Amino acid sequence: MRITYKGDYALKTILDLSLHYGNGPVFIHDLAERADIPEKFLEQILLDLKRGGFVESRRGKVGGYLLARPPAQIKLGEVVRFIEGPTEPIACTEKDYSGCKDKYKCVFRGIWQEISRATSQIIDNITFEDLRRKTEVPGSSFVYQI
């Protein structure tokens, strides 16, 4: 698993929306500005996150985005997997992978699965509520002040 800029932006945006949870929609423009994300790129990412059921949108003059669920019910792992795909470090379990004559006998496969499990263990035990709380501790604040 690798975190791309897209994933990085998605996570920062969900965290921003977590900090605003319960206060109505937030403009893309403000989200983009606070996290220093190209606005048009963030538009696309938010449409993705909407299709993934993470956020909702309101159109029109007082529109914007808000979380579809409370921050405590959104795990970091869910968002990461949705944007980045599986946590395995190699695509050798997928059907189009052609590097193994018999992947079930490969001695490396178990190792990649172990890494995948260890990674999941971490990202599936953190919710955006956890991150929100961390952010609000003074001195250990988020990348940007909100």
Partner DNA sequence: GTTATACTCTACTAATATAATAGAGATAAT
Partner DNA sequence: ATTATCTCTATTATATTAGTAGAGTATAAC
Q: Which residues bind its own copies (CB under 8 A)?
A: 1-3, 5, 7-9, 11-12, 15, 36, 76, 89-90, 92, 98-103, 105-108, 111-112, 114-115, 118-119, 121-123, 126, 131, 134-135, 140-144
Q: Which helix (H) or strand (E) holds 57?
A: strand 55-58
Binding mask 12-41 for DNA (x = CB under 7 A): -------------xxxxx--------x-xx
Q: Does 128 bind DNA (CB under 7 A)?
A: no
Q: Which helix (H) or strand (E) holds 113?
A: helix 109-123
Q: Which of 61, 95, 101, 105 binds DNA (CB under 7 A)?
A: 61
User: Residue 22 corresponds to which amino acid?
Assistant: G
CA separation for the pair 81, 84 (Å, rounded)? 5
